[in-house]
Amino acid sequence: MLVLVTAGVFTLIHLTPGDPIDVMMAESVDDSVKSNLRRELGLDQPIYVQYATWMGRLLRGDLGRSIRNGEPVIENVSRRIRPSLQLAALAMAVSLLIATPLGILSAARRNTSVDRVGTTFALFGICMPNFLLALLLIFLFGVKLRWLPISGYLDPLEDGWPGLRSLVLPALTLGLALAAVVTRTLRSSMLEALGEDYVRTARAKGLSEWRVIRGHVLKNALIPVVTVLGLQLGTLIGGAVITEYVFALPGVGRLVVDAIFARDYPLVQGVVLLIAVGFILSNLAVDLLYGWIDPRIRYR
């Protein structure tokens, strides 16, 4: 599986018209200098030789070095991963804070005005492009109200409050979109659970509606929500590409975009591979979570 992924990424990137050396160096640079550098980096070898070399290093845990700044790919990524993880965590928190009450209320008070607010919010959040929402927030909170910084990044763990402030708008951008998806999923899976026999039994026992929902409905409605959250991690990474671009955050998403445009082969391969691995692992984690949420699901 991962072999297919790596081979795919490799072929893809090397098919890209344009050459990293040409992108990096001025046209005036002597051709012999360029071809020397190509030989040094192994770029003059046929593509399958390059792939084999790369795979060989990969198996020894070496992702190679960036062509542009000469640093190991791993270092490039680890420098950029902090802002991305912080952003993802905050966005996840924002989305759960919004989506949990909204989804539950929408389902419990179906076809009332609360429900309509919930479903309308979900629809808008899903249809709203990330970059447009980002610009709206920048316009409102950065340009008109001047409450929050509109770009740049400070580490909240080191700089405290100003750092957190620099992440508010990006986290809102990503979190609102995610909240929309989660609200929608939570609402529909709760509606499904509400129609089950055990809910009728619980009500017949005389439990309060709140306890029925908390004890019986919510637990059974969680599986689809967790699935969606896991799948959305990919979208979170993709969305982060745009969000990091708009807010000038030095994260992994921005690293990918820059590397793709600079034809920095080892860097693109390394980062995309790491992202794909992270994506696969998070989906695996979700699969394992199922068993914990719902003991009826067992893996042999």
Partner 1 sequence: MAGSIRGSGIAEPSAALAQSAPRPTARGRRWEILRQAARTRLGPLGVLVLLLAVTVALLAPVISPYDPLKQDLGHTLARPDRAHLMGTDNVGRDVLSRMIWGTRVSLLAGFGSVALAMVAGGILGLLAGYTGGHTDGFLMRLMDAVLSFPPLVLALALGAVLGAGLGGVVIALGVVYTPTFARLMRGQVLTITTREYVEAARALGAPGWRVAWHHVLPNAATPIVIQASLSVAFAILAEASLSFLGLGVQPPGASWGSMINAGRGYLQQAPWIVFWPGTALFVTVVGLNFVGDAVRDALDPRLRK
**Min dist. Cβ of residue 24 to partner 1 (A):** 16
* Cα separation, 194 vs 209, whole angstroms: 11
Contact present, 247 and 259 (Cβ < 8 Å): no
**Min dist. Cβ of residue 155 to partner 1 (A):** 24
Contact present, 181 and 232 (Cβ < 8 Å): yes
**Min dist. Cβ of residue 81 to partner 1 (A):** 15
Beta carbon nearer to partner 1, 13 or 156: 13
How many angstroms separate the Cα of 107 from the Cα of each of 2, 92, 102?
A: 40, 21, 9
Q: Which helix (H) or strand (E) holds 191?
A: helix 161-194
* Cα separation, 249 vs 154, whole angstroms: 9
* Cα separation, 134 vs 174, whole angstroms: 9
Beta carbon nearer to partner 1, 9 or 87: 9
**Min dist. Cβ of residue 31 to partner 1 (A):** 24
Beta carbon nearer to partner 1, 163 or 278: 278
* Cα separation, 113 vs 120, whole angstroms: 10
Beta carbon nearer to partner 1, 179 or 246: 246
Beta carbon nearer to partner 1, 139 or 198: 139
Beta carbon nearer to partner 1, 67 or 122: 122
- φ, ψ (nearest 5 deg) of residue 38: -60, -45
Q: What is the distance of C-alpha 270 from the center of its chain?
A: 17
Beta carbon nearer to partner 1, 134 or 156: 134
Decide: residue 74, CB within 10 A, 0-12 exposed, 13-18 middle, 19+ buried. middle
How many C-beta atoms lie closer than 10 Å to residue 299's C-beta? 7
Beta carbon nearer to partner 1, 64 or 125: 125
Give SS3 for 50.
helix
How many C-beta atoms lie closer than 10 Å to residue 69's C-beta? 10
**Min dist. Cβ of residue 159 to partner 1 (A):** 26
Q: List residues near partner 1 by CB under 8 A.
A: 1, 4-5, 8-9, 12-13, 15-17, 110-111, 119, 122-124, 126-132, 135-136, 138-139, 143, 181, 184-185, 187-188, 191, 224, 228, 234-235, 237-239, 241-242, 245-246, 256-257, 260-261, 268, 272, 275-276, 279-280
**Min dist. Cβ of residue 240 to partner 1 (A):** 9
* Helices vs. strands in the chain: H and E counts, helices first: 14, 0
**Min dist. Cβ of residue 184 to partner 1 (A):** 5
* Cα separation, 248 vs 292, whole angstroms: 39
**Min dist. Cβ of residue 249 to partner 1 (A):** 15
